[in-house]
């Protein structure tokens, strides 16, 4: 065995012990990761198929009105989501959770053992024993750091899988599937709104609040919906809230709500229509539509 300084020898031993400890931890962690792999794989396949269908429908619906930049942004969002799903599955699999990090740890361990027990008379890279020993020690450290990176990403994937409780995902749009519609000034019209559940479980006890600015005149719609004037202390003072109640909405279902009778305002321009949705499992969250009034 070659002569090593006491400090370098202790560092090499520490690296070796760390590599051995990490190998045992990685194997134990894989037992947890693999328990989520099946559920996450089926969920990811379902989600990617659904997103492809949504993307095709949205681009088809936009048709000639689609702007190139808008289509690019939609495709970019899809590719980002697909990449994140594939990354999560990789770090839960045997390659990402075990083989890659263990390969790094084993290689680091082999380099440390070689550095300690190598033949002093062999051809040296730097022709100086201490320089080569330090270089090999750094190589082992870098490999172990790479292994720790894979291990941390696996822990993140496990945490994400454990925290991802299946929930409904509710979205409101016009019946055209677009978030914006155009009408003429002072036009009397019935607008149609739809609510979709794009989540992973059915939605229950849903209430949809569609807030129209005071410039709009909202006709009564009992028993299909209620019209509630908002007070000065509400989030939208003086707005008229159209309230729908939906007892149950299954996944991948779009429900067309009863038309809302509206008298459009005289003033032209773009009006934001806030939407609040309540669901039993997810509570309240906000969305919005828009109405453009032209002359």
Angle at 56 between CA 207 and CA 256, to 5 degrees: 25
> Please, where are the H alpha helices in the chain?
6-62, 68-92, 94, 100-117, 129-163
For residue 81, what is the DSSP state? H
Structure tokens of 231?
């007070």
Tokens of 241: 């809230």
Q: Determine the pLDDT at residue 67.
A: 59
Q: What is the CB-side half-sphere exposure of residue 73 using CA atoms within 13 A?
A: 5
Question: What pLDDT was estimated at residue 11?
Answer: 77
The string over 198-221, giving b where at least 16 C-beta atoms fall within 10 Å of a residue's C-beta and e elsewhere, is bbbeebeebebbbbbeebbebeeb
Tell me which residue of 112, 120, 157 sits closest to 136, measured CA to CA: 112
CA atoms within 13 Å, Cβ hemisphere of 85: 18
pLDDT at 1: 43
pLDDT for position 282: 84
Q: How far apart are CA 1 and CA 137, in angstroms?
A: 16
Task: State the pLDDT at residue 65.
Answer: 55
Q: Residue 284 class from Cβ within 10 Å (0-12 exposed, 13-18 middle, 19+ buried)?
A: exposed
The whole-number pLDDT of residue 273 equals: 93
Burial (CB count <10 Å: 0-12, 13-18, 19+), residue 76:
exposed
User: Contact at 8 Å (CB) between 265 and 228?
Assistant: no
Q: Domains plus CATH for the chain? A: 6-163 (no CATH), 170-294 (2.60.40.1530)
| DSSP per-residue string spanning 6-50 | HHHHHHHHHHHHHHHHHHHHHHHHHHHHHHHHHHHHHHHHHHHHH
| Each residue's pLDDT expressed in tens, for the chain with a length of 295 residues | 444 556 767 777 888 888 888 888 888 888 888 777 777 777 777 777 777 777 777 666 666 555 566 667 767 777 787 787 788 788 888 888 888 899 999 998 888 888 777 644 443 444 445 667 778 888 888 999 999 998 888 888 888 777 777 788 888 888 887 788 889 998 999 999 999 988 878 899 999 999 999 999 998 777 889 999 998 888 899 999 999 999 999 988 889 999 999 999 989 999 999 999 999 888 888 888 999 999 8
Q: Residue 73 has what pLDDT? A: 73
Integer Cα distance of 277 and 206 in angstroms: 7
pTM > 0.75: no
Cα 85 from Cα 66, distance rounded (Å): 27
In this structure, how many other beta carbons lie within 10 angstroms of the beta carbon of residue 26?
23
């Amino acid at each position: 065995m070659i002569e090593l300084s006491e400090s370098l020898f202790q560092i090499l031993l520490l690296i070796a012990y760390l590599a051995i400890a990490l190998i045992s931890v990685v194997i134990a962690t894989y037992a947890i990761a693999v328990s989520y792999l099946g559920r996450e794989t089926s969920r990811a396949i379902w989600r990617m198929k659904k997103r492809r269908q949504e993307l095709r429908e949205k681009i088809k619906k936009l048709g000639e009105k689609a702007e190139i930049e808008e289509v690019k942004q939609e495709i970019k969002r899809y590719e980002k989501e697909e990449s994140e799903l594939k990354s999560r599955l990789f770090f839960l699999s045997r390659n990402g959770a075990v083989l890659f990090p263990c390969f790094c740890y084993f290689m680091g361990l082999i380099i440390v053992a070689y550095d300690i027990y190598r033949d002093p008379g062999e051809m040296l890279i730097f022709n100086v024993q201490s320089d080569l020993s330090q270089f090999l020690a750094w190589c082992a450290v870098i490999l172990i750091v790479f292994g720790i990176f894979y291990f941390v990403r696996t822990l993140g994937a496990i945490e994400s899988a454990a925290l991802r409780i299946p929930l409904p995902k509710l979205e409101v749009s016009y019946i055209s599937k677009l978030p914006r519609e155009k009408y003429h000034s002072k036009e009397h019209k019935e607008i149609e709104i739809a609510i979709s559940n794009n989540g992973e479980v059915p939605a229950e006890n849903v209430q949809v609040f569609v807030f129209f600015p005071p410039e709009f005149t909202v006709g009564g719609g009992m028993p299909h919906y209620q019209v509630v004037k908002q007070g000065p202390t509400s989030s939208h003072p003086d707005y008229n809230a159209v309230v729908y109640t939906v007892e149950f909405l299954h996944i991948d279902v779009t429900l067309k709500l009863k038309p809302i009778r509206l008298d459009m305002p005289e003033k032209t321009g773009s009006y934001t229509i806030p939407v609040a949705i309540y669901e039993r499992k997810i509570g309240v969250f906000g969305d919005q539509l828009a109405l453009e009034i032209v002359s």
